[in-house]
């Protein structure tokens, strides 16, 4: 087993750490999915209001990648289809019959039968099962083209981002499904790298014996893009794919059962949650049903996914595809009286702006306040200190703002893994992540991806 020391990581200590208990939730009448939160998706709707669906019925697909289909997580009737600007598909709401009748997608597979399949056959089964979008294709960090297979696949068992599901929770009792999913990945490519955090709490030996690398460092050391950056031998591996361990488990479950795996382990966390913990839910579970978990409902921001990589959501939304956490954060006040005269013992700081730099707290209760407005880049040199791929984000930003794309590419811009840390530490409040995302999409479009 190899060991990788990841440079320039950051230990972000947020309050609201989820308990290791994994509870179940009550069934609700309505579930839903949110196509609007799937990046780069051009959805083609396949259902209409009043139509009956089963678990595994196809709801829509990506017009740019027609084999990338998205399936219903529950059985029942399509209650409502919500559209946004320019008729963009926002939400599909399904009234559950609470029977969870599953549609058979293909014949059940075993480890032996998976081993006999060709690489394209395995890919076809995953596509039919609605799980193609769990893969991240580098360097553009998009859902991979359904006609291509990667030079390597990187599996991250743990996640450093606060607060996402812990591996010892979602892997419990799932070793057979993980091994089936891993077998499928090994049929799709000749090289599968499995990484685990150096301080992992996972004890499942049947899974750990397949680990190839231990990753040392704080966030985002276990990001599969970072894993790829430190492990690749040459440029041919730049088009590798990444996938999380929980999604490997879901792939295994899909193949061995022949039905859509609609259950997953998520985290409900944040400073406003009474009891942050893991929950086992059916995909599409309404965020509204989690309101009872909150200490207060006013001044609330809902984030679907990680606090640094997730997307802003709403209390009326749903836990949709590829989302494994719901964070409830306090909306911050943008102005505080006499703020310049306060020592800031209660405010976390990266650049030692506040006296809290002298205080070692186990966790910080944060809100969404920016503590100031956007300013020009002051070339402070803070963002390179937290860039795990050893780049200089401020130089990328200046070149991109000047319309120069070639220079950042030459300097390793496409190694950026969109971890969000550079945006977090920027004293000028520059949305580096958004700038880099737009540039990456422009490069991908010019490359014909």
| Contacting residues for 127 by C-beta, under 8 A, at least 6 apart | 67, 68, 69, 146
User: CA distances (Å), 363 to each of 76, 115, 330, 366, in order?
Assistant: 43, 46, 16, 9
Partner residues linked to 266 by β-bridges = 279
- Cα distance between residue 127 and residue 147, in whole Å: 11
* Domain 2-16+104-257 classification at class level: alpha beta
What is the pairing mode between strands 153-156 and 241-244?
A: parallel
Structure tokens at 140: 């553009």
Q: What is the pLDDT along the chain (449 residues), one digit of tens a residue?
A: 899 999 999 988 888 889 988 999 999 999 999 999 999 899 999 999 999 999 999 999 999 999 999 999 999 999 999 998 888 899 999 999 999 999 999 999 999 999 999 999 999 999 999 999 999 999 999 999 999 999 999 999 999 998 999 999 999 999 999 999 999 999 999 999 999 999 999 999 999 999 999 999 999 999 999 999 999 999 999 999 999 999 999 999 999 999 999 999 999 998 889 999 999 999 999 999 999 889 888 888 999 999 999 999 999 999 999 999 999 988 876 566 666 656 665 677 766 666 555 566 667 777 777 777 778 888 888 999 999 999 999 999 999 999 999 999 999 999 999 999 999 999 888 999 999 999 999 999 998 87
Partner residues linked to 136 by β-bridges = 242
Q: What pLDDT shows up at residue 85? A: 87
Q: Report the predicted TM-score, pTM, of the whole model to 2 decimal places.
A: 0.94
User: CA distances (Å), 331 to each of 25, 87, 388, 434, in order?
Assistant: 27, 30, 29, 21
Q: What pLDDT shows up at residue 15? A: 81
Which residue, 154, 228, 230, 242, is CA-closest to 191?
A: 154
Q: What pLDDT shows up at residue 16? A: 80
Domain ranges of the chain: 2-16+104-257, 370-446
Q: Across the beta sheet with 30-33, what order do the strands follow?
A: 30-33, 89-96, 76-83, 52-53
By the 10 Å C-beta count (0-12 exposed, 13-18 middle, 19+ buried), 175 is classed as middle
CB count within 10 Å of CB 355 equals 14
């Amino acid at each position: 087993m190899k060991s990788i020391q990841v440079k320039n990581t950051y230990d972000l200590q947020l309050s609201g750490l989820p308990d290791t208990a994994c509870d179940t939730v009550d069934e609700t009448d309505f579930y839903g999915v949110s196509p609007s939160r799937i990046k780069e998706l051009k959805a083609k709707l396949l259902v209409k209001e009043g139509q009956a669906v089963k678990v595994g019925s196809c709801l829509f697909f990506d017009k740019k990648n027609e084999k990338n289909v998205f399936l219903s997580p529950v059985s029942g009737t399509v209650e409502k289809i919500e559209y946004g600007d320019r008729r963009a598909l926002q939400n599909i709401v399904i009234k559950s019959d609470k029977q969870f009748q599953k549609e058979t997608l293909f014949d059940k597979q075993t480890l032996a039968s998976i081993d006999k399949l060709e690489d394209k056959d395995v890919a076809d089964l995953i596509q039919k099962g609605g799980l193609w979008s769990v893969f991240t294709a580098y360097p553009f960090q998009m859902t991979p083209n359904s006609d291509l297979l990667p030079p390597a696949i990187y599996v991250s068992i743990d996640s450093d981002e606060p607060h996402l599901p812990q591996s010892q929770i979602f892997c419990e009792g799932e070793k057979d499904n993980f091994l089936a999913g891993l077998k499928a990945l090994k049929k799709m490519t000749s090289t599968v790298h499995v990484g685990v955090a150096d301080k992992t709490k996972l004890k499942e030996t049947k899974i750990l014996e397949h680990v190839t690398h231990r990753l040392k460092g704080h966030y985002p050391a276990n990001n599969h893009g970072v894993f790829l950056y430190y492990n690749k031998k040459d440029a041919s591996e730049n088009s590798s794919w990444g996938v999380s361990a929980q999604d490997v488990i879901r792939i295994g479950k899909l193949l061995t059962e022949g039905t859509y795996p609609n259950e997953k382990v998520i985290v409900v966390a944040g400073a406003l949650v009474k009891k942050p913990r893991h929950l086992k839910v059916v995909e599409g579970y309404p965020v509204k049903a989690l309101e009872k978990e909150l200490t207060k409902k006013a001044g609330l921001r809902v984030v679907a996914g990680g606090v640094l990589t997730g997307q802003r959501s709403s209390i009326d939304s749903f836990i949709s595809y590829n989302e494994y956490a719901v964070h409830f954060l306090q909306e911050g006040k943008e102005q505080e009286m006499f703020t310049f005269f306060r020592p800031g013992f209660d405010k976390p700081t990266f650049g030692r702006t506040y006296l809290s730099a002298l205080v070692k707290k186990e966790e910080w209760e944060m809100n969404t306040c920016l503590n100031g407005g956007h300013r020009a880049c002051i070339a402070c040199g803070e963002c390179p200190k937290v860039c795990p791929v050893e780049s200089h984000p401020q130089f990328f930003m200046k070149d991109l703002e000047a319309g120069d794309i070639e220079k950042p590419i030459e300097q390793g811009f496409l190694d950026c893994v969109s971890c969000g840390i550079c945006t977090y530490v920027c004293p000028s409040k520059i949305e580096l992540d958004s700038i880099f995302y737009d540039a990456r999409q422009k490069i991908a479009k010019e490359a014909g991806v």
